[in-house]
Amino acid sequence: MPSRRQIREAVIQFLYCTDLEGGADPTAMREPFWEFVTESDRRSLQIATFRTVHHLAVGRDVRLTEFMERKTVASAFLSAHLEAESLKIELNRIAELESKWSSAFDRVERLPRNDDDDAVAAAMESALKDLFRIDRELALSRQRFLHGIEDFPSLRGQLEASAASVRRLQRISDRMRMVEEPERFPEQADLTKLRESRAGLLELRRDSDAIVNGVLQHKARIDDQLAQVVENFSPERIDPVDRAILRLAAYEIFHAGTPSKVVINEAIELAKRFGTTDSGRFVNGVLDRLAKEASKVS
């Protein structure tokens, strides 16, 4: 799960990027900002997802070969039973999707996994999404075929071999669903890393967005509060990083109920990390005065 420090660092970066003074529209900046700031974490999640999918695919070739052999026999059998034409069509559809699945998996396999290039990361994300999409289509097609057999009791015996192969391949897809949405399967201990990584990214964005929304909502009031303790205060006269840090701190002191001492210490650390050599001292002085004003109000 993201730490308090990670959340506040993300908030400062967002406030800085949007500038909030005639800069980029904060709403329009949300998605590109989060793609940028979580790029490394998302890349790690992609690799972990790929490795899990790769593990699931071990032995699939044998199952697929068996299915294709049995499918040929079943198709010939169904050709003699026109009333079951829908089963033949669905069986061919399964074979077509199985081939697409293999091609999509090969595409993922060929992508570099130790390359930090943005284009490679985007290609990996796209390839995984494509594979999961095909797998979902495949699962539905298999389901239609297996359910369709139930409508033709007299043909079940001749189609059982093909049905068995379909069910064996479906077991891989059942696990693929777990990999695609690990949060839905908390009982699967082997998916803990994927589950925690996905949850961490979602929580970081949720908590950071909540704070950003609070700062934006109270920005005018926050600037008034800063003006009371900063001589000749004017937002544009303050360094953009320092300005973002002060606004975040003022929001937490006056509007979020966070203890002033905690806020000041965290703000100083943020100033040291993102600001200039004088930022820490400047931020400390402003927030010390702001905290005293806050104590008078309370």
Is there a single domain that holds both residue 166 and residue 222?
no
Is there a single domain that holds both residue 139 and residue 109?
yes
Is there a single domain that holds both residue 47 and residue 176?
yes
Last residue of a domain, one of 134, 150, 180: 180
pLDDT tens digits for 160-218? 999 999 999 999 999 999 999 999 999 999 899 889 888 898 899 999 999 999 999 99
Give me 107's structure tokens: 């595409």
Last residue of a domain, one of 149, 180, 211: 180
How far apart are alpha carbons 31 and 63 in whole angstroms? Answer: 41
> Is residue 27 assigned to a domain?
no
> Is residue 12 assigned to a domain?
no
Residue 284 clears pLDDT 70, i.e. is over it: yes
> Is residue 18 assigned to a domain?
no
pLDDT at 23: 61
Nearest to 96 by CA among 58, 150, 137, 53: 137
Is there a single domain that holds both residue 70 and residue 157?
yes
Confidence class of residue 116 from pLDDT cuts 50, 70 and 90?
low
Look at the alpha carbons of 57, 61, 63, 68 in this order and tell me if their dihedral is positive or negative: positive
Is there a single domain that holds both residue 49 and residue 166?
yes
Q: What is the CA radius of gyration of the chain?
A: 28
> Is residue 288 assigned to a domain?
yes
Q: What is the mean pLDDT of residues 219-242?
A: 85
Is there a single domain that holds both residue 174 and residue 267?
no
Last residue of a domain, one of 180, 215, 239: 180
Residue 44 clears pLDDT 60, i.e. is over it: yes
> 297 exposed, middle or buried (CB, 10 Å; 0-12, 13-18, 19+)?
exposed
pLDDT tens digits for 205-220? 999 999 999 999 999 9
Is there a single domain that holds both residue 216 and residue 118?
no
Structural domain of 151: 40-180
Dmax over CA atoms of the chain, in Å, equals 92
Is there a single domain that holds both residue 45 and residue 135?
yes
Confidence class of residue 2 from pLDDT cuts 50, 70 and 90?
confident
pLDDT at 115: 63
Is there a single domain that holds both residue 55 and residue 126?
yes
Domains held by the chain: number: 2
Please state, in angstroms and as integers, the Cα–Cα distance from residue 257 to each residue in 65, 95, 250, following that order: 64, 61, 10
> Is residue 7 assigned to a domain?
no
pLDDT tens digits for 15-43? 888 865 456 677 777 888 887 788 788 88
Is there a single domain that holds both residue 217 and residue 96?
no
Is there a single domain that holds both residue 172 and residue 65?
yes
How far apart are alpha carbons 206 and 68 in whole angstroms? Answer: 47
Is there a single domain that holds both residue 76 and residue 165?
yes
How far apart are alpha carbons 13 and 241 in whole angstroms? Answer: 8
